[in-house]
Each structure stands twice: as C-alpha cells, then as structure tokens.
Amino acid sequence: MAGQTKNTSSTGASDRAPRTFRVWRGDGQGGKFHDYSTEVGEGMVVLDAIHQIQAESAPDLACRWNCKAGKCGSCSAEINGQPRLMCMTRMDQLPPEGPVTVEPMRAFPAIRDLVTDVSHNFRAKKSIKKFSPRKPDAPDGTWRMQQADVDRVQEFRKCIECFLCQDVCHVLRDHHKHEEFVGPRLFVYTAALEMHPLDTENRLGDLKNKHGLGYCNITKCCTKVCPEHITITDNSIIPLKERVVDEFYDPLTRLFRIFKPAK
Amino acid sequence: MSRADIPLPQPRGMAQTQRTDTWWLQPLAVFSGFMAFIVYSTWAALQGEHFFLSAGGANYLSPFYSPQLFNVPGQPPTGHAWFGDPPSWLLSLWPSFIPFSPALLILWAPGGFRFTCYYYRGAYYKAFWADPPSCAVGEPGFRGKKYRGEAKFPLIIQNIHRYFLYLAIAFIFVLSYDAIIAYKFAAADGGWTFGIGIGSLILTINPILLGGYTLGCHSLRHLIGGRKDCLGAGGAQRTAYDCVSCLNRKHMVWAWLSLFWVGFTDFYVRMCSMGYFTDVRLL
C-alpha cells in the first residue's frame, strides 16, 4: 500500500510542468491580458489552474464557479478563443505549446475579470409565454402522453444555462442585437414549451416579431459549443423557423389552416 | 439586479480571434468546394452539347440536363426530350450570346433547393460572406447593428425552401428513371438489351445520394411530422418522421456527397461523349 501511494505521488509530481496562462483582467470599462505561470499536471482542468493562480499570485482574480462537474454552468469562459466551461476543459485537450488564453464571454458585459453580467438572458426569458397545458385528460387532474412525444422535448431540458451558445452566437456577440434577439438558449427554451405535447400556447408571433428568430443564420456555432450536446440548431431553431414559415410565409399552409381548428 | 449600464465588449474586427486552431481551414474548404462546383456546373450547363452518350449502345443522360425539356437545334435527338423541338418563341427569346442549352431551363430548381437549404445557408454565409468567418471569429465591421439576418429582405426569401423541396423530390423520380434506362443498351438488331456499364452504376448512385440528401431535408422533416407536437409511437407518420430525422442527422454529409456525385456524373457522361473516356461494359 505504501509503495502504491509513493508511486502515485511521484508520478503526479513528475508530470507537473509550468504553463503560462494569459488571463484577461479588467471590467466593463476595459482591461488587458496578464500572464501568469503555474504548474499543471495530469487530470487538471483549466478551472483548477485558475484557482491555483488565485492561490499563488492573483488572489483578487474574479471568476465564477460552483459545481466543478459541468452541471451548474457557472464557469463559462473563452479558452484559447473557444467558448467552453473551464471545469470541463482538461489541460491535455489544449495544445501543449504556447500560453493558454482565458477571457470572459464576449457577448455579455464584463463585470470583473472572468465574471460577466448574464442578466440579459433572464430578462429575455421572462418575455417568453409560459407553459399552458391543455385541460387534464383524466378526472383526477392528470394527463396522458406518449413517451416518444415527450422524448423530443426532453433533449432541451438538459440545458444547464451556461450561456456558451449565447456567447458564440454572432448576432449577440458581433451585432449586439440583445434587444431584438433572445438567442439560441432561449430558442431551446421556447422549443421545449412550443413542442410540448400538452402545451396550447402559440409563441410563433413572438418568435418572429419580438424574439428575432429570423436573425439566426444557422451557423450552428451554438450546437458546436454546447457542453450538453443539445442539437440546438437542427432540433430547436430550424423546427421553430419552419413553424414560423407555416404561420406567416407559406401561402398553402395558411390556406389549409382556414379549414383546421385552432390549437 | 440589472447592470445595463455596463457596456458590451467591443466586437473584434474581421478575422480577429483568440482561437489558436486552424479555424480558417473549414470555410476555405467550403469556399473552394462550392466554387469548384459552381464554375464547373455553369460551364457544363452553358455547353448545350455532349450531355448524352449513345456510343456503344449506351443511354446515359447527364443529370445537369435531366429532365430534358427540348431537343437542341442542330443536334441529333436524344430521345429524352419531353416536348420535342423547342418552340420558336423560346428560341426567339433565347440570348444570342448563349448557345441553346436545356440545362439552363431546369437547373434553377435543384440550384434553388441547394441555395435555400439550411445546411448550405449556414455554410456559405460563413465561407462566402464571412457572416461570421467561423465561430467566435470577428466579422467585417460594416454590418454592425445594421445586420438583418434572414429576418428581412433579401434573405427572408430563404423561407421559400419547402417549395424547392417539392421540385427536388420530383427530380429524384426523373433521375431514377434515367438510372433505370441506363441499363438499357441498343442491341445490334435495332432493339434493346439489358446491360451494365460503368456509366449505369454512376447514374444509379446519383439518385441514391440525391435521395439521401433530399429526404433528409429539414423542411421535409417538419412537413412529415415535425410540425405536430403529438405523433404518437409506432404509426406510419412517426416511422416516416424517424426515417427523415435519421437522414437529417447526416444532412451535411449527404449534401456534399450528392453535390460531388451529380457533378461527377455529368463529367463522366461528357468525357465519354467527347471521346476522352470509353465507357466499359461490365455485362
């Protein structure tokens, strides 16, 4: 047992090597990158390194984190330019050479260092019509649904609200359409409600006129960065776009709707 | 607590990023692939000849010219023209600087289907218009807050995609017919005989790949079942929706394979017709 402990310990020590982290420091008025050197070892993630930098050389470095397990969505940042969770980015996934850049999400105002103000997302969420179920199917106030129908929206409920999809979306990031465009996270949220087998609300008018669905030009960047691997573009945004086409642009479906009862 | 007073970070300039990977490689490859196809297909469509192979008894029609609506004046009939010789009004309207080409009468339909396809849209917005050049990479500053996306004219027209889908489905039937008759070779006695040439196989793969692409279309997925919240389990509509969804998951792969193959099929027929290739009969 002692030999095993010693062996593990020595392996861990020998694997550690100094690495430079180029961390953005500043606030909403501006900032710049600062270089910090710290030792990294096997199994470490970027968040470990940031905590180590806090402990060793920058105790005032602000960063938001909570679970360290990729489930709370707090430690979103841009690592080597890619929106990622710091706690789920292993050091061995990054190029072995050169400094590792860590900066806050660029689609939101920087509060301080790596911490951003993501309150836009919560305000936008309030503008989406709430779940509105049909009348219960049974006298005891319960409903009956096919599992296959529920499975479709179950994917959307994996969202941890890390807002990496919002960060990478160029409509927010580069065009600053925050007032007119709710963003991919909230399209996923809307899809979960709009496609729910029990829901009776119609959100298509809001999607087109208030929530800026038409601004999405299907770059699929949101899907690529999602740590929960939600197929955001193909399973939520494009199906919503198609429903908006049904409702507002397709003359044939508009014609057929005359003969069909409302939802 | 609202922090609306904190300004947003300044957007990065064109191609500025902290990314350290070769982010430019994919848009460059997409740009090169699309440009190669656009240049070749435009050139091939403007030729108006060498789109049919009858040498060796073959019966191969290039997919760029199928359905062939009219014969080409001055060329022997292929036997594929739906309406025979072109009407005089069409010939009088035809621009004098372009040779009469049946391809130009039909290619707008599959071209429109691909141009409005959700996969292609995302790909060419990045590769051709740098909107954005790649994920988390800065784009040209002139758009800024004036960005309109697909919410307003002109790109709001992309919503026509499902109508091109209807046409694209019809094309699969036509190209499948072309594939079937590619196994029909002229016999020495003046009749027809079953045969297999390399071209028969090439023309067969073409509608299969186009079918995989077209039947995995996002609009079809919506129309066939996605528009409903309750499809139930096990019914015909659920099965159809699941099949389209299955193809849809690899829509990009089908899009590229079918694009390449339709171009290659025309190239093969053209090269055989021009005498550069000889079609090998396997049976």
Q: Is residue B196 part of a domain?
A: yes
Q: Is B218's CB within 8 Å of A103's CB?
A: no
Structure tokens at A218: 């299907």
- Alpha-carbon distance of B160 to A262, in angstroms, equals 24
DSSP output for B191-202: SEEE--BHHHHH
Residue B10, min C-alpha distance to chain A (Å): 8
Structure confidence by residue, pLDDT tens digits, A181-202? 999 999 999 999 999 999 999 9
Partners of residue A18 on adjacent β-strands: A39
- Alpha-carbon distance of B200 to B59, in angstroms, equals 9
Residue B118's closest chain A neighbor by CA?
A218
Residues near B77 by Cβ (< 8 Å), separated by ≥ 6? B71, B84
DSSP output for A11-42: HHHHH-EEEEEEEEEEETTEEEEEEEEEEE-T
Q: Is the pLDDT of residue A13 over 80?
A: no
More confident residue, B224 or B234: B224
Residues of chain A positioned with their CB less than 8 A from the CB of B223: 242
Q: Which of A37, A58, A49, A57 is nearest to A86 (CA)?
A: A49
DSSP output for A88-106: G-BGGGS-SSSPEEEE--T
Of chain B, the percentage scoring pLDDT greater than 70 comes to 99
Q: Is B132 on the interface with A (CB under 8 A)?
A: yes
Q: Is B140 on the interface with A (CB under 8 A)?
A: no
Q: Is the pLDDT of residue A234 over 70?
A: yes
Confidence of residue B232 (pLDDT cuts 50, 70, 90): confident
Structure confidence by residue, pLDDT tens digits, B71-100? 999 999 999 999 999 999 999 999 999 999
Interface of B with A in 194-223 (CB under 8 A): 218-219, 221-223
Residue A148's closest chain B neighbor by CA?
B233
What average pLDDT does chain B have?
A: 95
Q: Is B121's CB within 8 Å of A28's CB?
A: no
Residue B107, min C-alpha distance to chain A (Å): 23
Q: Is B121's CB within 8 Å of A147's CB?
A: no
How high is the pLDDT of residue A263? Answer: 53
Structure confidence by residue, pLDDT tens digits, A84-133? 999 999 999 999 999 999 999 999 999 999 999 999 999 999 999 999 99
Q: Which of A54, A83, A253, A209 is nearest to B228 (CA)?
A: A253
Residue B274, min C-alpha distance to chain A (Å): 41
Q: Is residue B283 part of a domain?
A: no
Q: Is residue B3 part of a domain?
A: no
At B186, is the secondary structure helix, strand, or coil?
strand
Q: Which of A179, A187, A190, A185 is nearest to A164 (CA)?
A: A185
Q: Is the pLDDT of residue B264 over 70?
A: yes
Q: Is A243 on the interface with B (CB under 8 A)?
A: yes
Other C-beta atoms lying within 10 Å of the C-beta of residue B192: 14
How high is the pLDDT of residue A6? Answer: 36
Cα→Cα distances A89→A69, A79, A166, B49, B200, Å: 11, 8, 19, 57, 51
Residues of the domain holding B260: 25-140+151-274
CATH topology of domain A119-258: Fumarate Reductase Iron-sulfur Protein; Chain B, domain 2 (1.10.1060)
Q: Is the pLDDT of residue A173 over 80?
A: yes
Q: What is the DSSP letter of B188?
A: T
Partners of residue A40 on adjacent β-strands: A17
Confidence of residue B32 (pLDDT cuts 50, 70, 90): very high
Residues of chain A positioned with their CB less than 8 A from the CB of B142: none
Q: Is A178's CB within 8 Å of B226's CB?
A: no
At B75, is the secondary structure helix, strand, or coil?
coil
Q: Which of A42, A70, A67, A38 is nearest to A54 (CA)?
A: A38
Q: Decide: pTM greater than 0.90.
A: yes
* Domain ranges, ordered by start, for chain A: 15-115, 119-258
Instruction: Count up the domains in chain B and report the number.
Output: 1
How high is the pLDDT of residue A7? Answer: 38
- H-assigned helices in B87-160: 88-93, 103-106, 108-115, 118-127
- Alpha-carbon distance of A101 to A20, in angstroms, equals 9
Structure confidence by residue, pLDDT tens digits, B114-171? 999 999 999 999 999 999 999 999 999 888 788 999 999 999 999 999 999 999 999 9
Beta strand A76-79 with A17-27: parallel, antiparallel or unpaired? unpaired
Superfamily of domain A15-115: Beta-grasp domain (3.10.20.30)
